[in-house]
């Protein structure tokens, strides 16, 4: 990995995150973790986005906690203080915007599973800092998105065989956003939940992940470049 752990200010306190730098200045991108924590997979994604020209910062929303156990991950997810997580994401956005390497001065959010829902939440709550958002099969029982507040362009990637975020539920949410006049670029893949996570061979789908990667880069370059 080419990035490094840093500390940045969030709501008057310091918190940690993994920062990956591109070869030359570029827009900012906040990479938001799954319920496992800030694990190597998320750091690797930050590195991949940096290699594509984005200044990528993955905030550690669990503040050092991480796990490989689904039961423990579920406990960490439910224990997450959404308001504080939002402040961490806003702090990450402000840190990126203050960096001279971030050019133009735009920041997007991209998140996976739990992080997908938080990517939309942050975009809705902090439109002054967030210019675009990408949701990969987002779910969090404590996070509700107010469609009327979501003013930035959104891209969404969902799986048709997803028991955590069922297709019907995902389509209903997308339709609600579109009915409100929002810009939504949505895709549904013949895959399982977490199909983008290449560290989980039981669900990883290379074809769907490749398509989603290409689409995500095009979207981010359109709205942040």
What does the H/E/C string look like for 52-74?
Answer: CCCEEEEECCCCCCCCCCHHHHH
- pLDDT tens digits for 37-66? 999 999 999 999 999 999 999 999 999 999
Domains of the chain as residue ranges with CATH: 4-224 (3.40.50.1820)
For the ranges 9-13, 20-24, 139-143, the one whose mean pLDDT is highest? 20-24
Report which of 194, 188, 122 is spatially closest to residue 156, judged by C-alpha positions.
Answer: 188
157 included as an active-site residue:
no
Active-site position among 44, 47, 60, 162: 162
d(CA 160, CA 151): 26
Contact between 92 and 29 (Cβ < 8 Å): no
Name the pTM for this structure: 0.96
Active site includes 135? no
Is 113 an active-site residue? yes
Query: What's the confidence (pLDDT) of residue 126?
Result: 95
- Residue 117's H or E segment, with its range, is helix 114-125
């Amino acid at each position: 990995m080419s990035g490094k752990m840093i500390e940045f200010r969030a709501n008057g306190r310091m918190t940690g995150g993994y920062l990956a730098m591109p070869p030359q200045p570029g827009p900012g991108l906040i990479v938001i973790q799954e319920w496992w924590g800030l694990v190597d997979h998320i750091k690797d994604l930050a590195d991949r986005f940096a290699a594509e020209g984005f200044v990528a910062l993955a905030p550690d929303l669990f503040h050092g906690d991480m796990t490989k156990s689904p039961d423990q991950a579920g406990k960490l997810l439910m224990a997450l203080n959404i308001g504080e997580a939002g402040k961490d994401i806003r702090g990450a956005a402000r840190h990126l915007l203050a960096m001279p390497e971030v050019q133009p001065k735009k920041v997007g959010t991209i998140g996976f599973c739990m992080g997908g829902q938080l990517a939309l939440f942050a975009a809705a709550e902090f439109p002054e800092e967030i210019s675009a958002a990408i949701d990969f099969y987002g779910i969090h029982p404590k996070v509700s998105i107010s469609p009327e507040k979501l003013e930035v362009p959104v891209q969404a990637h969902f799986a048709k065989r997803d028991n955590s975020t069922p297709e019907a539920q995902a389509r209903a949410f997308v339709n609600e956003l579109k009915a409100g006049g929002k810009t939504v670029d949505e895709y549904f893949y013949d895959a399982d939940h977490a199909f983008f996570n290449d560290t989980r061979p039981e669900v990883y789908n290379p074809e769907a992940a490749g398509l989603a990667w290409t689409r995500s880069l095009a979207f981010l370059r359109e709205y942040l470049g």
